[in-house]
Amino acid sequence: MYNKKIKITFAPLFGKFKTKLFNMKIAIPTKDNMVDEHFGDAEQYTIYTIDNQSKIVSQENLACKEGCGCKSNIATTLHKLGVEIILAGNMGDNAKNILEDNQMKVIRGCKGNIDDLIQAYLVGNVSDNGEGCHHKHSSHDCGSAQISTPIVLDKASFLSKVFNYEAQAEKWVYEGDKPAIIDFHATWCAPCKSVSPILEDLAKEYAGQLYIYKIDIDQEQELAAVFGIQSVPTFLFIPLNDTPKMASGALPKENFLKIIKDLI
């Protein structure tokens, strides 16, 4: 039950985890077969699948609604498709941070024909120019838009954003600046899929007040082991200055709303 305070303990870890080699996916925000000059104005995302010999295996198009990418759920969508790298034109720091929080490397300052760009990248002739977008729009500033999508965590980002259990194993110390909900889930879990749209809605409704994180227990077995996750979905509710609490099962939205009211 949610009202049961948990004592942070650490289950034995599973040892070393093997990783598998997969094809890499690269996405380019595209307009008229050219790199979109401003992230969010793209007609589609062109997604290239690259093999381990830097050869293009396939190409697909992901249609998108026009509008600023940093206010949409495109980061979550691209991550689910397995995209690891974004080759983009101009992009604000906030949009870049959201994409990177979803485990994608962002390379800004790209221009020209997308087929020429991908070939240049594959031979090492493309690098990030380090410049963000300075455009201001009627609805928001690209550099200050709030995170409004769930954020995917791996071990490294968990240690830096949530709890560094390697440095502080005996006492819970939250690294974040806002309360958070962590969704421990799995791709094969039907109840997890039923809760996912609720979490996406909550991320939009409470943007700027709350972080919603997602951890795939199959991809991050060490994190699942550290918290002794036995079933999914399991949720960790993290206040700013108190002990986290845990609940299991597919909670309805009204339960999340009551819990969030206490968190913030």
CATH of the domain at 159: 3.40.30.10
Contact 74, 98 (CB under 8 A): no
Mean pLDDT along residues 187-214 = 92
Clarify whether 68 is annotated catalytic. Answer: no
Residues of the chain with pLDDT > 90: what percent?
A: 50
Annotated catalytic residue within 64, 68, 142, 189: 189
Residue 99's φ and ψ, nearest 5 degrees, are -65, -40
Give the domain extent around 201: 151-263
pLDDT band at 95 (very low <50, low <70, confident <90, very high): confident
- Count the Cβ atoms, other than its own, within 10 Å of residue 166: 9
Q: Which two tokens stand for residue 24?
A: 């890499």
The pTM (predicted TM-score) of the whole model is 0.56
Shared domain check, 253 and 210: yes
What radius of gyration do the chain's Cα atoms show? Answer: 19
Is the pLDDT at 155 greater than 50, yes or no? yes
Task: Mark which of 122, 142, 174 sits at the end of a domain.
Answer: 122
Shared domain check, 161 and 85: no
Shared domain check, 160 and 83: no
Q: Is residue 47 part of a domain?
A: yes
For tokens 């240690």, name the residue.
159
Task: Mark which of 122, 142, 163 sits at the end of a domain.
Answer: 122
Q: Is residue 14 part of a domain?
A: no
Q: Is residue 129 part of a domain?
A: no
The residue type of 13 is L
Question: Rounded CA gap, 139 and 147, in Å?
Answer: 15
CATH of the domain at 88: 3.30.420.130
Counted domains in the chain: 2
According to DSSP, the residues that pair with 38 across neighbouring strands are 90
Q: Is residue 2 part of a domain?
A: no
Q: Is residue 136 part of a domain?
A: no
Clarify whether 110 is annotated catalytic. Answer: no
